[in-house]
Amino acid sequence: MTLVDAVAISMFAGITLYAIFGGADFGSGVWDLTAGNAEKGGPLRRLIDHAIGPVWEANHVWLIFVLVFLWTGFPTAFAAMMRALGLPFWLAGLGIVLRGAGFAFRKFTRSLRWARVAGIVFAVSSLITPFFLGTIAGAVASGRVPVDERTGLWEPWLNPTSLLGGILAVLTATFLAGVFLAAKADQLQATDLADVVARRSLGVGLVVGAVAVLGIVPLAVDAETIFSGLTTAGAPLQVLSAVAGTTTLLALRNRRLRQARIAAVVAVGSVVVGWGVGQYPWALVDELSLDDAAASSPVLWGLTLATGLAALLVVPSLTALYVLADREPESA
């Protein structure tokens, strides 16, 4: 493994963690959106507040981590993406701002009307960000981000692969969030709530599976390079994802929600890692290889050092935060 590979792996680890934790976070917004009117949806919305409140901020630092690694380790790829995919990046950024604000202020507002406004902002913007980040992934994967050419505003990210990426991102986020929320409700002994969320998650999971299978068609036609990568080197990970996905569905059906949580993380994680493996050795598929995009070796060593520090400092403290957030206060 070369130094370039090591940095690329670190970056992709960041993408995977963001897809899982940030994804579950965004997905909970979709649950919020579909929870029903103020009275019926109240318990589910309170559960969402309760579950993501302590951790959402840390979840989103992964995005900053990925961006910084991208522009430092692979500056030409970063600049090319920013030029070709400006619009989806702006829209994803807008979603991030509105979502943070909507989430914060909904909980605080005291009148139902404003709570509803803030809640709608929170929920709708939860859809926007994963969708547009998904289209960006699709654009890179289908080789639509050139290095030295101008592109139009739309075509790099309005195409079959990008749309598939956007839809899959929203669906998997919803699925993950559902599994996490069901497990949280179960932990709080709100069995009925856990039941409802688990049942619906099962439905979402079946849709995710169907879209993933049907998605093979546009991928094969529209993104040949990554398709061949996914079906060769990436194939074991696709199989793993399918197995873990099925396990999640079975665990959901049998209400073994802690198992479902682990299996869902494996299912989503292996899809994302599979994308990385399928795309290797390209930074921008068909346009720029990782080696050609990479910064010089002192910079890459610096990033490797930063990765080591992150593993040493961030991982244990993040774990402690998750444990703390899972614990109910003594005074309650």
Binders of other proteins among 107-146, rule CB under 8 A? Answer: 107-108
Using a 10 angstrom Cβ sphere, with 0-12 exposed, 13-18 middle and 19 or more buried, the burial of residue 216 is: middle
CB of 305 to other proteins, least distance (A): 8
Closer residue to other proteins in complex, CB, 151/225: 151
Asked if the peptide bond before residue 298 counts as cis, ω within 30 degrees of 0, the response is no
Q: Which stretch binds other proteins (CB under 8 A): 173-181, 196-204, 213-221, 261-269?
A: 196-204
Which of 2, 34, 38, 40 touches other proteins (CB under 8 A)? 40
Which of 6, 33, 83, 225 touches other proteins (CB under 8 A)? 83
Phi then psi for residue 141, to 5 deg, are -65, -30
Within positions 61 to 80, which residues make up the interface with other proteins, using CB under 8 A? Answer: 61, 63-65, 67-69, 71-73, 75-76, 78-79
CB of 87 to other proteins, least distance (A): 7
Beta strands in 65-160 (DSSP E): none
Phi then psi for residue 284, to 5 deg, are -120, 115
Q: Tokens in use for 109?
A: 């507002």
Within positions 304 to 323, which residues make up the interface with other proteins, using CB under 8 A? Answer: 306, 309-310, 313-314, 317-318, 320-321
Inter-axis angle of helices 297-309 and 56-73, nearest 10: 160
By CB under 8 A, tell whether 324 contacts other proteins. Answer: yes
Mark residues 221-260: x for contact with other proteins by CB under 8 A, - for none: ----------------------------------------
Which of 5, 93, 116, 289 touches other proteins (CB under 8 A)? 93
Q: What DSSP line would sit under 148-214, residue for residue? A: SS---SSTTTSSHHHHHHHHHHHHHHHHHHHHHHHHHHHHTT-HHHHHHHHHHHHHHHHHHHHHHHH
CB of 27 to other proteins, least distance (A): 19
